[in-house]
Homo-oligomer: A and B are copies of this chain.
Amino acid sequence: MKKIDVCLTPELLHLHDIENSIVVVVDIFRATSCMTTAFANGVEAIIPVATVDECVAYQQKGYLAAAERDGKTPDGFDFDNSPFSYMAEKVQGSTICVTTTNGTLAITKSKNAVKVMVGSFLNLGALTTYLKDQQYDVLVLCAGWKGKPNLEDTLFAGALVERLQDEFMIEEDAALMAQRLYNLGKDDLLACVASSSHVKRLQRLGIQKDIAYCLQHDLYDVLPVLRGNSLVNM
């Protein structure tokens, strides 16, 4: 039977053998929710890069560029890290270069996997259907916050474990804990995340609307996957 496991932060990724797994990277607030939304709105490709400097270099070559550090957008970029900013006509058919505090690092760290995919509550249903049909184990890699686990990414991991539990075996406690936390909170995810450290940080930035948006399930039928150095919609 295939296995599903959860890595609560990229700092623990070296403990997982990903060569035979599909890695689903998640950064709910807001990197992977933005990426999902971007593909749903017709973006052609997303290039994740590790540093703001690399992102600026792509912008100077004519790409659209999005950067986030500590929840804020440095000056001069084309998006403000809100998923709503990807619902614009300019994204249609474009290639966007992206760097974020936690999310893009998690993607670049996963390159040895069979496949690297991007997950969010927004495309949970599409991911579930796809992963059930594959022959590989699944590892959900939570981007976390500066190396530490966070609640919202863990909840997404739990949601995917819950949806895949009939086809995949749960072997490790991180997956079990994520699943239990999701089932405990799923009836009101907004209330469930309200006391989390990251949500408090984000609320200070005034993005309550983004938080509610990112917790919606199964909004888009998109499957972002890493091909070479770019994410594309399968």
Binding site for B on A (CB under 8 A): 8-9, 11-12, 15, 145-151, 154, 171-174, 176-177, 180-181, 184, 195-198
Contact = CB atoms under 8 A, between A and B. Distances in A.
A12 B12 contact: yes
Contacts of A8: 8, 149
Contacts of A9: 12
A81 to B, nearest CB: 20
Nearest to A195: B176
Contact of A147 (B12, B149, B176, B197): B12
A150 to B, nearest CB: 5
B149 A174 contact: yes
A197 B173 contact: yes
A180 B197 CA distance: 15
B173 A148 contact: yes
B148 A177 contact: no
Given A171-B197, A173-B196, A197-B171, A12 B180 contact: no
Given A154-B177, A173-B198, 6 more contacts: A12-B12, A15-B148, A151-B177, A154-B173, A171-B197, A172-B197
